Structure 1
Amino acid sequence: MKKILLLIITALVITLITPQRALVDVPMHAGEVWTEQTLVAPFDVPMVKIKSQIEQEREDVQRNFSPIFRKEVANLKSIQCKEEDVAFVREAYSVGVMPDGEWSKYRDRIIRICDKFNNITSLPTEEIYTPHQIAERLDIASQTLPTNLIYDDKLNKELIDSELKAISTTRNMVRSGEVIVSTGQIIDELTLQKLRSFSLEFESQVGNGDDFYIVLLGRFLIVIILLIINYIFFTKFANLYFGDSSRPLFFILFLYLLMSVLTALVVMLDGVSPYVVPTAIVAIYMMTYFNMRVAIMGNLSVAIIGALFVRIPFDFFFVSFTAGMVAIFMMRHHYHRLNLFKSLGVIILAQIIAFFGVQLIRTASFININYFTISWFVFGALLVLALYQAVYLIERTFGFVSDVTLLELCDTNQKLLLELAEKAPGTFQHSVQVANLAEAAAKEIGANPLLARTGAMYHDIGKIGNPFHFTENQTGEFNPHKDLTPRESAGFIRRHVTDGQDYARKNRLPRQVVDFITGHHGDSRMYYFYAAELGSQGVVEDEEDFRYPGPKPMAKEVGICMMADAVEAASRSLPSYDKEPLEALVDKIINIQISEGQLADSDLTFAEVEKIKALFKAKLNTIYHVRISYPERK
């Protein structure tokens, strides 16, 4: 119920943050070819002006605006002039005198003069006087002359704003039933304007009333169906076991939400391409912590979800999906940080090729492709690089493990492995051999070789506490089992699994490594001691005392470790290391494990098991090959 609630909440959040509009696939640039069916206007569509047209009209309003000047009473007595110039001065101030700077600014316009009775008179600026003009006529200094036309800043601002708001965003009309664009038509600027107008009008009509909620419901159904498919696929086909923990599911849903939020933010920014959203990081994270199947489904899902946010959904889906798939192929079991930079380069190249592919279909031309979009791919790759730095934090927060961590853990200088080598040297050597076999087998079938190797190195770590109860650590005739009953001996052997869990917990080993400790024997029977108990007592009262606690292997890598462990240990008991006995031993041991159902939950196929058998045979023949006998030195 908790996981279902998580799916529903995630679907609701993603639905609510998608752009509140009905998406109509409108080409981004003129010159593209309309590949859809002929589009006919289902209703009257006002032609929306393009941004440059509106900006031009705003500039025209401000350039041609007739400003208002308030006429005030000037003190003419302060003006020293000849008697014959008095009439001129009175006439000039009767018309109006404005500052020289403002006269120059508005000299090509008509200005409006408002008197004290709020009567407005319009005059060309050239008919207005300035202090400089009057001073030249009177032959006096212009600084001593007053002005009586005062620019009304507040009123003019209000009038300009009013005129700007009055600018219509539409022009003309596409009538209902009129063809907007035909199939195969190359889209020119006018047609592009019609398409964008239709998109806005369609969204306006659908975005209001009940239609809006219908669209919202449609989005929710798409997302919730996608998340349900994710959950079923992860649990049934991708070997992702959630169990009682919601952490893996929560992490995956968190990634979907994160990419949704980033895409929503980007589409709200003018001039920013949605291709900058680092969707490839989802595939990289899932490859790092889970497996290829989980990564492929996650990559597909985040590309579909992202397509709900953009106006050209197929283009975005295809480019994002391509980037994620390349990331999966390139980042598979990467052990070196340099590989990340190489991978990002290939991802950028793949995005560019995918982008050119969809653009050539749309434009049928190399000229009309927006080459600047390539820069957004680079920015997106840098975001991927930045987000990848959170790998260690995610490991600690969610309890995951990356290949880098596994590489560190399988270093034989690790404290726990050094202790194993010191206290149980035979077990340590056995673990190294099992690790070599497991790593090679994992490579052979496409599993995680580093996880297989690391898990194999720690699978017998529980033998540190009682090393001499295991034959590989015994020397000479000493064998503590001689003084124990078969049931007691079985208890000591069985304990190395539970003791191993304790050592793993104290040393904070990842859960993925602990799975090797608990699962490398499954719940198989300790047949040697079981047979001894049956021979001495005639009956075995509680068979569970002679079985390992399990569980059976739940992952391919653990199943590989189980086979490698049994084969390597049994091969040491052979009287002869000829090819036939070795190969017969491999077949016998693995076939018994299959017949007992020990590998049933490991997701290993019969074809993969056969490959593993063949590899073990080749490896063991190499290990135990006959060497030439050197002559004795005299």
Structure 2
Amino acid sequence: MKQFLSKIYKNQSNIYKVSLFLLAITLIIYLFPKGGKFKYDFQKGKIWQYETLYAPFDFAVYKTDEEFNAEKDSLKSKHINFYRVDSKIQENVIEQYKSKFAIYFPDSLYSGAIKERLYEVGADILNQIYNKGIVQAEQDNVPGDVVNLVKGNEQTSVFFGDLIQLSQLQHKISSILGSKNASQYAGTFYNLFFDDIKPNVFYDESLTNKVLEEELKSIVGTRGHVEKGKRIIAKGEVIEGERYNMLYSLRKEYESQLWSESNYNWILFGYILLVSITFLMLVLFLYKYRPLVYLNNNKVTFIVFNVLLMIFLTTVALKYNAAFIYVVPMCILPLILKAFFDPRLGLFAHVITVLLLGFIVPNAFEYVFLQIIAGIITIQTITNLHKRANLFISVAQITLIYILGYFGLYIIQEGHIKNIEWQTFGIFILNGLATLAAFPLIYIYEKLFGLVSDVSLLELTDTNSPLLKELAEKAPGTFHHSLQVANLAEAVANEIGANAMLVRVGALYHDVGKMNNPMYFTENQTTSVNPHDELSPKESAQVIIDHVIDGIEIAKKNKLPDRIIDFIRTHHGTSLVYYFYMKEKESAEDANPDDFRYPGPIPFSKETAILMMTDSVEAASKSLKNPTFSVIDGFVERIINKQIEEDQFINANITFKEIQVIKKVLKQKLTNIYHLRVEYPE
């Protein structure tokens, strides 16, 4: 049991990676639409390049989207609106009429017979107009339209013009009074009815929409039938008209039937196989070409998370509306991976993601072509991400490539631009604007995954930062030395293609540990008093060695990124504090070199190796009394060759050719620092 647990512990990193990739494969397959893939790729108006196709089974001919939408629009335009009658309003108005009639027609002015006749006239007016119905609003109907009138549980169809609108009420009352020879009483009746008559017919939107939805659901999606064995299309024929409709229907029927219970396991196995192969390519790339990234589970998780995020966003857009798949800013993936790693890794992950999406998107060739081209442009154009203008310029270039690529593909497919969908260009512009979200995403990822981008490195180069200001105050000589090393290291990094910004930041902070005991380092000693005179060589060496440990603690306290702390940890490697070792040897020949050795580790990257070389050369150059070209040449060669002999660079991915270039640059820079001139003959 202990051996089993021990094996698990030793292989926990590999177990984590396997679990991560299995989870990623499972999530991707879950996100993929549940349907098979039709084995023929065709486009309307193109030539059928395959062999003559016969119907493999009986299937219905589906209506195209255009036909289906046209039928829906026709149904909507012919749909009859529903109006509901509120009978209580008529009852209330009649009650009000009974109570107010005596006020407007008093006994003092009207005799009993006349008053009784006028009462009957008024009641008849109310009955006539309410039996017709007083409508509240026109609701986009015209008088000739037929509407459904619902009263209680009864429904009748009437012309909208037969209903009385409020604007027609006065005319209707006048007409009824005229027919009853009572026009002279029109003013009194108007005043009597003015405040009480209200509409009793109202547009019923919910019922109208409900009936319309039921009618739309009843639309049949098919318009014919194809029997098994019937020829659908012959090789060389143009895909148009009825041929296109049959191919479209066959593909739809084929994909729906393919994902059936009998084929489910096989199709699922196919998806698992293809997605697994694609992810295997990513794993092999990391393992072979980016071993440091592969060994870091945090970085592997970050890469897989971003691939999954792009696939998730695209599948969501696809389910909502296939036309919006280009709104998803796929170029954010290579952009972000380039910011944290390198362009090659960013492009490779982008291509892998696009290939995975090629299984599910419509017009897969068009999608894959445009996305890969856009990814290449992203890698080539976006440099110095910390400069804001560069991102905007690059996004404009990416958007232009999308537009030009889509335009070219459309011309090839259609042969003209008459029916081009110009709104697609707007979608590409939205894609470009969404790509600008890379800036806040980089910041979020730095906090979530503990990574460092060029933007953060630029912030760390600010010499007015609290930590560097403290270093300048407590150890001004060390601060000046760090600036000199930063300049040298940056120049060297630019020459051999290393990360110049990272090297500069590492150089600025590599000696922050000297703040704890600044006077024990010669660059900070301004008087003839040397604290080491009171210490033994072994104690002095320990004080010098401790500045590495102190620097790591200070850096962690100030929340410097791990990549910067690596420079503090490795800038002396496992070299000796040579001066005090030789001093100890003078008094004790059996001096143990391990007591005078830095704890390490040795440099493990080009950048950390550059810092070790430039730091040693710059510090030792202060001891040169009469520097000449030959002195500087031998001085640089001696220091760096000694580091090579001590195997300080065996873990760093740096070549002998690059080391020779570094020597050359350092010699040139030191020559400029000491203002050496060519000696002219007398």
Instruction: Report TM bin, short chain.
Output: 0.7 to 0.9
Distance 2:262 2:579 in 1: 74
Unaligned runs of 5+ in 1: 69-96, 112-123, 133-139, 145-152, 630-634
Determine if the alignment matches structure 1 residue 480 to structure 2 residue 494: no
Aligned to 1:605: 655
**Is residue 347–residue 379 contact of structure 2 (8 Å, CA) maintained in 1?**
yes
Task: Give CA-to-partner distance per residue, 1:109-156, whole Å, 9 cap, x none.
Answer: xx9xxxxxxxxxxxx999xxx999xxxxxxx96999xxxxxxxx9999
Aligned to 1:315: 366
**RMSD (Å) for aligned C-alpha atoms:** 4.2
Aligned to 2:554: 503
Task: Give CA-to-partner distance per residue, 1:18-55, whole Å, 9 cap, x none.
Answer: 11122348879634566777766544443221123223
Structure 1 residues 33-42 or 470-479, which shifts more?
33-42
CA 1:270–1:422: 2 relative to 1, 3 Å: closer
Determine if the alignment matches structure 1 residue 6 to structure 2 residue 15: no
Task: Give CA-to-partner distance per residue, 1:372-393, whole Å, 9 cap, x none.
Answer: 3221111011112135323323
**Is residue 604–residue 651 contact of structure 2 (8 Å, CA) maintained in 1?**
yes
Q: Which residue of 272, 276, 282 corresponds with 1:220?
A: 272
Q: What pairs with 1:132-143 in structure 2 (closer than 5 Å)? A: none
Distance 2:235 2:389 in 1: 48
Q: How far 1:587 sits from its partner (Å)?
A: 3.2
Aligned to 1:117: none
Determine if the alignment matches structure 1 residue 381 to structure 2 residue 381: no
What secondary structure sits across from 2:224 in the alignment? strand
Distance 1:369 1:102 in 2: 37
* Counterpart AA for 1:305: L
Task: Give CA-to-partner distance per residue, 1:4-29, whole Å, 9 cap, x none.
Answer: 21221122111101111223488796
What secondary structure sits across from 1:412 in the alignment? coil
CA 1:63–1:238: 2 relative to 1, 3 Å: closer
Q: What pairs with 1:225-624 in structure 2 (closer than 5 Å)? A: 225-238=277-290, 240-241=292-293, 246-270=297-321, 272-367=323-418, 369-541=420-592, 543-624=593-674
- Structure with higher Rg: it is 2
Aligned to 2:189: none
Q: What pairs with 1:149-168 in structure 2 (closer than 5 Å)? A: 165-168=217-220
Q: How far 1:540 sits from its partner (Å)?
A: 4.0
User: What is the aligned-residue identity percentage?
Assistant: 37
Distance 1:210 1:616 in 2: 71
What secondary structure sits across from 1:335 in the alignment? coil
Aligned to 2:85: none
CA 1:391–1:44: 2 relative to 1, 3 Å: same
Unaligned runs of 5+ in 2: 1-14, 83-130, 135-140, 149-156, 165-174, 180-204
Task: Give CA-to-partner distance per residue, 1:502-551, whole Å, 9 cap, x none.
Answer: 1101111111111111111222333343444445432344x433322222
CA 1:32–1:548: 2 relative to 1, 3 Å: farther
Structure 1 residues 18-27 or 456-465, which shifts more?
18-27
Aligned to 2:221: 169
* Counterpart AA for 1:300: V
CA 1:31–1:535: 2 relative to 1, 3 Å: farther
Q: How far 1:341 sits from its partner (Å)?
A: 1.0
Q: How far 1:562 sits from its partner (Å)?
A: 1.6
CA 1:99–1:482: 2 relative to 1, 3 Å: closer
Distance 2:483 2:289 in 1: 32
Task: Give CA-to-partner distance per residue, 1:177-215, whole Å, 9 cap, x none.
Answer: 666566776543544433332321221121111423322
**Is residue 287–residue 332 contact of structure 1 (8 Å, CA) maintained in 2?**
no
* Counterpart AA for 1:424: A
Q: How far 1:277 sits from its partner (Å)?
A: 0.7
Aligned to 2:201: none
Structure 1 residues 478-487 or 450-459, which shifts more?
478-487
Structure 1 residues 521-530 or 272-281, which shifts more?
521-530
Q: How far 1:413 sits from its partner (Å)?
A: 1.2
TM-score for both structures, normalised by structure 1: 0.79
Structure 1 residues 400-409 or 97-106, which shifts more?
97-106
CA 1:559–1:351: 2 relative to 1, 3 Å: farther
Distance 2:64 2:451 in 1: 51
Structure 1 residues 200-209 or 304-313, which shifts more?
304-313
What secondary structure sits across from 1:47 in the alignment? strand
Task: Give CA-to-partner distance per residue, 1:222-258, whole Å, 9 cap, x none.
Answer: 3333334334433542354465x64322222221222
What secondary structure sits across from 2:223 in the alignment? strand
Q: How far 1:278 sits from its partner (Å)?
A: 0.7
What secondary structure sits across from 1:395 in the alignment? helix
Distance 1:603 1:39 in 2: 58
* Counterpart AA for 1:8: L
Distance 1:257 1:131 in 2: 61
